[in-house]
């Protein structure tokens, strides 16, 4: 009785029709769903090209995007590998196949192994083959032909368990993988090949219930070799001469079909058997890859690290050292950062590439929470600790993706009076020594950029003083290779001057003079050098004292690096291009004619961007509980904007966000960003400067309060770092506490004025009593907070802030129809400053010094009168005066100076005697720091 043909063509068509229907249905739910395949072909062999055309046609019919990337046979292995890597990193590509064979000069193993396991839809890579070969392995993709063979066997209805299967051929493409699949189906498998003796082969074949032939020898297997009723799958594709065919040849398999079909029960024809199935399985694998890609986008999950709590609580650096961090690559994987988007700096920190924003542009943002505080004591009230503890609670204990976004600490406070800024206790960023010191060098890059610009300005002044216009122009635009050309940055100055000429030789003498001579007025220079240390002796210096400077000395001073406008630009930029533009328009001084002189006028914008091009990428770290942290930018909050970067927030909001087909209420993650010091400082600037620049709107404000600080504002004695706390802070005193709650109430009112719900986080110390906590709750709710929740994250980690986290998540769901900023940009500079001072500080008025008034008039004249305002002032009072505690009123805010940060995009007013570079105390923090030379570990950091 003739064997039943296994119609691979019909089975494959049914599968392909199902794939087409499946894709259409998924696209109705998710318009972004577009499975994509790229075929890489080297050379133009006719048989390979035929296979490629067949695959492309089938893919297009199934609504799978298919692209052919062709290379000549002369392509190098390195070029091909580079292209494979680019395809691996392209999120729009779901499947990659390399058409084999490759030229002998290229290693097939190297190329196929380079294809990402996630996109290896041929199943030929090390990862997939290895998983397939191992018992219990789970390959992402099974090679297409073996996968098709198994479906054809299933169509016969055979139960493979216990059957004897003989596989002819041991190639990595068919023979070996199909043998693994048969073994996994509990068949007994014998592999034969060209070296198997004829006698042994015939003997073995006689016992086979199933024969899979893939030896590539025309009509090799005879019917007389087969066991009656055997199932025969012929994988062979061979051409033999045939004068009856127009081509002179015909296609046959490895099996002599005529004789075998008289013995077998089922047999595949050639053509029309395995071949169509191979293509169908390729399409199936591409769809599976696309499905897996979209599933991975949704399956982000943070695996928390357990805490081993101790009592009494060890010092911060001891706690940090006792926790073994996860590799930063693992943190990135958990939150959905792709390997090519991560740039590790060692094992536990990395930069994240901004291209991630484009990849995740389709996502809804996660919830956005800003943590700020009441007016602190010199000891700090745990705002950073609360930021970290709250993020640990949400990510490690409530199971949502949550990022803490914090600033990079300056080495000034680290070695000075305040210490590091990693948080504290069991709510801190680790490794805390790496966090608090150089990190990835961002502050050093800012310092270099800032000081390059300072050097460039004074160098230009020197050369202008010693050269004629013609000589200056000749040196600025020299002849090179017989031709004079403007460099790229010069076209920015030409455009500013209204000169549209592109040939340097076409400029008139007047245009040459305007272009080449900046004519800086030394009295108007505002750009100062910076250093990332506390050094009071650099507040006022004289530069240009060397005899080589020909008497061009002047008085100036240093700021601390984190007060540099370059730092503010880093924090407020929305992209690398935006940073380039902001750096270029920074104003350094005025000309003697009163025109603003910018960084691009000096030709420095490109160089500064080059120094900061890596610094613009946020730094990824982790908390003690292994939850993600972005550390980026470090502007001080008393003398700058006091917020981490817009880009860190935007990246985190996308990583914590939801796909279009996910329920945001159930799945949305959270970004906890920190604003420095109290709400009237970092918080006010977060809204009026940062949100204005980013376009983002927060869902909730968290105001951190402590019983200790509120008692200070209620009339308690001053607190001195290093000294024992007075008794009022160690024992219950409800009266002083309630009196001090006016400070908290003022901050709540200020925060509520933006139309965003406010939650008070009561950072609980072990000395706080239940009665005191209840007083803070009562006063917070009376002031308009939606909730006031005690938390003990310092001692308990995220578990101690779970109630706070739940309250914050609830507050994030409250609509914000009345969101608004404190002021618009249409009024005068004085009106904007008064809006801050009167509404937020409680002042009666703002008073400008003559210098401040003169500078404001200059800025307005130059066209910079409509910028937001940053008022640099003390952090120890809502007012400008550190002695005024509580919620003072009726005072005058004296503005002694106003500087301009045109690149960052705000005016920078200095109130009272605020310093822009701090000094060191009598007993600085560096006294405690030592390095264990045996292990290289840093001790004594706090």
Phi and psi at residue 321, in whole multiples of 5°?
A: -70, -30
**What's 539's DSSP letter?**
S
Q: How far apart are CA 80 and CA 193, in angstroms?
A: 33
The DSSP element (H or E) to which 490 belongs, if any, is helix 490-496
Residue with tokens 């003083």: 465
Question: Which pair of tokens denotes residue 939?
Answer: 């001790």
- E strands, 304-411, are 342-344, 350-352, 367-373, 402-406
The CA radius of gyration of the chain, in Å to the nearest whole number, is 35
CA distance 587 to 601: 9
Please tell me which residue in 41, 99, 219, 392 is annotated as part of the active site.
99
The residue annotated as part of the active site, out of 120, 122, 209, 256, is: 122
Burial class (CB in 10 A: 0-12, 13-18, 19+), 870: buried
β-bridge pairing 423-424 and 596-598: unpaired
At residue 293's C-alpha, the angle toward residues 291 and 295, to 5°, is 70
Phi-psi region of 777 (alpha: psi -120 to 50; beta: other; left: phi over 0): alpha
> Is 47 part of the annotated catalytic residue set?
no
* Catalytic residue, candidates 55, 650, 654, 711: 55
- Is residue 363 within 8 Å of residue 658, measured between CB atoms? yes
How much of the chain is in helix, strand and coil states, percent to nearest 5? 40, 15, 40
In sequence order, the 6+-apart residues with CB closer than 8 A to the CB of 90 are: none
DSSP 8-state assignment for residue 691 = I
Residue 867's contacts (CB-CB under 8 Å, 6 or more residues apart) are 825, 859, 900, 902, 905, 906, 907
Question: Helices 829-836 & 850-861, crossing angle to 10 degrees?
Answer: 120
How far apart are the C-alpha atoms of 792 and 24, rounded to whole Å? 52
488 catalytic? Reply is no
Alpha helix segments (H runs only) across 102-188: 108-114, 126-133, 144-155, 175-184
β-bridge pairing 266-267 and 4-5: parallel
Token output for 225: 């070799």
- Cβ atoms 140, 118 nearer than 8 A: yes
Strand 427-430 vs strand 423-424: parallel, antiparallel, or unpaired? antiparallel
In angstroms, rounded to a whole number, what is the distance separating the alpha carbons of residues 361 and 366?
12
State yes or no: is 500 an active-site residue: no
Query: Where does residue 257 rank: exposed (0-12), middle (13-18), buried (19+ CB within 10 A)?
Result: buried
Q: How far is CA 245 from the centre of its chain?
A: 62
Please state, in angstroms and as integers, the Cα–Cα distance from residue 108 to each residue in 92, 102, 111, following that order: 25, 6, 5
What b-and-e string marks burial along 898-923, b requiring 16 or more CB atoms within 10 Å of the CB? bbbbbbbbbbbbbbeebbbbbebeee
Burial of 362 (0-12, 13-18, 19+ CB in 10 A): middle
Whether residue 744 contacts residue 785, with contact meaning beta carbons closer than 8 Å, is answered with no
Distance separating alpha carbons of residues 450 and 471, to the nearest angstrom: 28
Give strand pairing partners of 256: none
Of 874, 852, 853, 856, give the one whose Cα is nearest residue 864: 856
**d(Cα 200, Cα 202) in Å, to the nearest integer?**
6
| Alpha carbon distance 815, 442 (integer Å) | 37
Provide the angle, in degrees to the nearest 10, between the axes of the packed helices 770-782 and 734-752. Answer: 30
Catalytic center residues: 55, 99, 122
């Amino acid at each position: 009785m003739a064997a039943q043909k296994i119609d691979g063509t019909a089975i494959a068509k049914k599968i392909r029709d199902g794939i087409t229907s499946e894709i259409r249905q998924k696209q109705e739910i998710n318009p972004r769903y577009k499975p994509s395949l790229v075929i890489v072909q080297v050379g133009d062999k006719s048989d390979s090209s035929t296979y490629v055309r067949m695959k492309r046609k089938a893919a297009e019919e199934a609504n799978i995007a298919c692209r052919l990337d062709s290379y000549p046979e002369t392509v190098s292995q390195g070029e091909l590998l580079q292209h494979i890597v680019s395809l691996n990193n392209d999120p729009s590509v779901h499947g990659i196949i390399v058409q084999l064979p490759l030229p002998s000069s290229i290693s097939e193993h190297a190329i196929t192994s380079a294809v990402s396991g996630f996109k290896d839809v041929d199943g030929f890579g090390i990862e997939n083959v290895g998983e397939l070969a191992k018992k219990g392995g789970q390959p992402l993709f099974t090679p297409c032909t073996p996968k098709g063979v198994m479906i054809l066997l299933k169509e016969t209805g055979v139960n493979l368990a216990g059957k004897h299967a003989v596989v002819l051929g041991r190639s990595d493409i068919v023979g070996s993988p199909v043998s693994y699949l048969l073994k996994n189906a509990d068949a007994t498998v014998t592999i034969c090949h060209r070296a198997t003796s004829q006698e042994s082969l015939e003997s073995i074949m006689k016992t086979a219930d199933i024969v899979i032939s893939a030896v590539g020898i025309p009509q090799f297997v005879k019917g007389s070799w087969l066991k009656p009723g055997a199932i025969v799958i012929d994988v062979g594709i061979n051409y033999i001469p045939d004068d009856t065919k127009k081509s002179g040849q015909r296609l046959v398999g490895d099996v002599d079909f005529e004789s075998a079909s008289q013995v077998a029960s089922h047999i595949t024809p050639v053509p029309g058997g395995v071949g169509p199935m191979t293509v169908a399985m390729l399409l199936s694998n591409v769809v599976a890859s696309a499905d897996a890609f979209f599933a991975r986008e949704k399956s982000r999950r943070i695996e928390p690290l357990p805490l081993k709590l101790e009592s009494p609580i060890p010092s911060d650096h001891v706690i940090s050292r006792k926790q073994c961090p996860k590799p930063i690559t693992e943190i990135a994987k958990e939150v959905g950062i792709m390997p090519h988007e991560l740039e590790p700096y060692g094992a536990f920190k990395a930069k994240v590439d901004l291209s991630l924003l484009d990849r995740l542009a389709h996502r809804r943002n996660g919830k956005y929470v800003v943590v700020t505080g009441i007016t602190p004591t010199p000891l700090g009230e745990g705002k950073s600790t609360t930021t970290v503890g709250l993020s640990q609670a949400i990510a490690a204990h409530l199971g949502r993706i949550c990022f803490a976004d914090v600033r990079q600490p300056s080495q000034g406070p680290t070695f000075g009076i305040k210490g590091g800024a990693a948080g504290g206790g069991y709510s801190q960023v680790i490794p805390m020594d790496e966090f608090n010191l150089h990190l990835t060098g961002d502050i050093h890059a800012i310092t270099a950029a800032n000081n390059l610009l300072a050097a460039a300005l004074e160098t230009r002044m020197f050369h202008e003083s010693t050269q004629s216009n013609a000589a200056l122009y000749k040196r600025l635009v020299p002849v090179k290779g017989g031709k004079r050309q403007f460099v790229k940055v010069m076209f920015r100055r030409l455009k500013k001057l209204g000169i549209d000429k592109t040939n340097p030789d076409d400029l008139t003498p007047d245009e040459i003079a305007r272009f080449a001579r900046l004519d800086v007025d030394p009295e108007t220079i505002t750009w100062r050098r910076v250093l990332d240390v506390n050094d009071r002796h650099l507040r006022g210096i004289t530069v240009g004292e060397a005899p080589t400077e020909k008497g061009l000395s002047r008085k100036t001073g240093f700021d601390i690096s984190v007060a540099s406008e370059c730092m503010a630009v880093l924090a407020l930029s929305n992209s690398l291009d935006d940073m380039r533009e902001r750096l270029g328009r920074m104003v350094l001084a005025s000309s003697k004619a009163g025109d603003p002189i910018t960084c691009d006028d000096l030709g420095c914008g490109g160089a500064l961007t080059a120094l900061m091009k890596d610094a613009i990428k946020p730094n990824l770290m982790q908390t003690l509980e292994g939850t993600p942290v972005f550390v980026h930018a470090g502007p001080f909050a008393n003398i700058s904007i006091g917020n981490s970067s817009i880009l860190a927030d935007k990246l985190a909001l996308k990583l914590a966000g939801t796909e279009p087909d996910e329920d945001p209420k159930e799945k949305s993650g959270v970004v906890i960003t920190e604003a420095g010091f109290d709400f009237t400082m970092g918080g006010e600037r977060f809204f009026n400067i940062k949100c204005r620049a980013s376009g983002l709107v927060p869902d909730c404000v968290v105001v951190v309060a402590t019983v200790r600080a509120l008692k200070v504002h209620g009339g308690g004695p001053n607190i001195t770092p290093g000294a024992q706390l007075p008794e009022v802070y160690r024992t219950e005193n409800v009266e002083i506490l309630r009196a001090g709650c006016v400070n908290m109430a003022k901050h709540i009112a200020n925060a509520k004025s933006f139309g965003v719900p406010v939650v008070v986080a009561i950072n609980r110390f072990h000395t706080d009593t239940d009665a005191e906590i209840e007083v803070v709750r009562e006063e917070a709710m009376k002031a308009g907070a939606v909730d006031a929740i005690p938390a003990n994250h310092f001692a308990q980690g995220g578990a101690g802030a779970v109630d706070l986290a739940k309250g914050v998540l609830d507050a994030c769901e409250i609509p914000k129809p009345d969101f608004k900023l404190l002021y618009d940009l249409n009024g005068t500079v004085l009106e904007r400053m008064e809006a801050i001072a009167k509404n937020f500080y409680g002042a009666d008025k703002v008073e400008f010094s003559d210098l401040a008034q003169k500078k404001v008039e200059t800025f307005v004249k130059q066209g910079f009168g409509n910028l937001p305002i940053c008022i640099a002032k003390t952090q120890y009072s809502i007012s400008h005066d550190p002695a005024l505690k509580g919620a003072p009123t009726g005072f005058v805010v004296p503005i002694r100076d106003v500087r301009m940060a045109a690149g960052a995009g705000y005016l920078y007013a200095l109130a009272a005697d605020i310093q822009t570079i701090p000094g060191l105390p009598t007993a600085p923090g560096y006294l405690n720091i030592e390095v264990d030379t045996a292990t290289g570990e840093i001790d004594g950091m706090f």
